[in-house]
Amino acid sequence: MTEISRTVRIGSSHGLHARPAKLFAQAAKEAGIPVTIAKGDGRPVNAASILGVIALAVEHGDYVTLTADGDGAETVIDTLTELLTTDHDQES
């Protein structure tokens, strides 16, 4: 098993509010391996928990650290990174 961590900058202009948080948590849940997200030096939370993700109060431009542990961790981190760096508030 390989644990992979990556720090990414939030792209959504309104941060990880309900819609982006839901998309992110859903993708983390579907990954099938444990994934956590932490804001700055804060305590990591389960990335598959929508409430946990929203409770981090992540704003546009904030840095978060993703950690995935298990088979395919790198692919999972790549997918989640793309979700976090995309500005979901610009889509129509």
Active site residues: 17
Please, are residues 80 and 66 in contact by the beta-carbon 8 Å criterion? yes
pLDDT in tens, the chain (92 residues): 589 999 999 998 989 988 889 999 999 999 999 999 999 989 999 999 999 999 999 999 999 999 999 999 999 999 999 999 988 776 54
Residues 6+ positions from 45 with CB-CB distance below 8 Å:
36, 37, 38, 52, 53, 55, 56
Q: What is the pLDDT of residue 18?
A: 86
CATH of 3-85, one of 3.40.630.30, 1.20.1560.10, 3.40.109.10, 3.30.1340.10: 3.30.1340.10
CA dist., res. 70 & res. 32, Å (int): 9
Q: What is the pLDDT of residue 1?
A: 59
Q: What is the pLDDT of residue 92?
A: 42
pTM of this prediction exceeds 0.75: yes
Q: What is the pLDDT of residue 33?
A: 97
Please, are residues 68 and 6 in contact by the beta-carbon 8 Å criterion? no
For CA atoms 80, 31, 90, 45, give the dihedral sign: negative
Domain boundaries, the chain: 3-85
From first CA to last CA, the distance across the chain in angstroms is 39
